[in-house]
Amino acid sequence: MSSWEPPDEVLVAPGTYLENINFGGKAMTLLSEQGPEVTAIDGGAAGAAVIFNDGEGSNSIISGFTIHNGTDKVGGGQAGGVTLTFASPTIVSNIFRNNQQGNGNASALAGNGFLMERSSRELPLPPWF
């Protein structure tokens, strides 16, 4: 992500990618070619799978992934799946599963892997909620 320059869009081929992605304040789009059923970000239990923590806004987009195996770094205050701190990105059409968060904050919000702190994005509730 450090070499990205606005207005980059990265189109990701199907597969499972062992990654911990930090958008680093950049307005970028990370988009899977064929959707979350065949394209995954595996956090490898090495911290949050995806991090937005540097003022990212709605032009920082992640779409079309299964995000799994993210974890809080042993109580380090990050959610396993996606951590948002001082950020309001666009997160759409993703599946979250098998993410863990040490102190329980993330599990309660959206069911699997979010920590939102000082962020203004709303998470729409599913119709069955």
Q: What pLDDT digit, counting tens, does each position of 37-94 carry? A: 999 999 998 888 998 888 898 899 999 999 998 887 655 556 678 888 888 888 888 8
Q: What is the pLDDT of residues 85-102, one digit of tens each?
A: 888 888 888 888 888 766
Query: What pLDDT, on a 0 to 100 scale, did the predictor assign at position 33?
Result: 95
DSSP-assigned states of every residue in the chain: -TT--TT-EEEE-SEEEE--EE-TT---EEEESS-TTTEEEE-TTSS-SEEE-S---TTSEEES-EEES-B-SSSSS--SSEEEES---EEES-EEES-B-TTSHHHHSTTTTEEEES-----PPPTT-
pLDDT at 118 over 70: no
- Banded pLDDT at 123 (limits 50, 70, 90): low
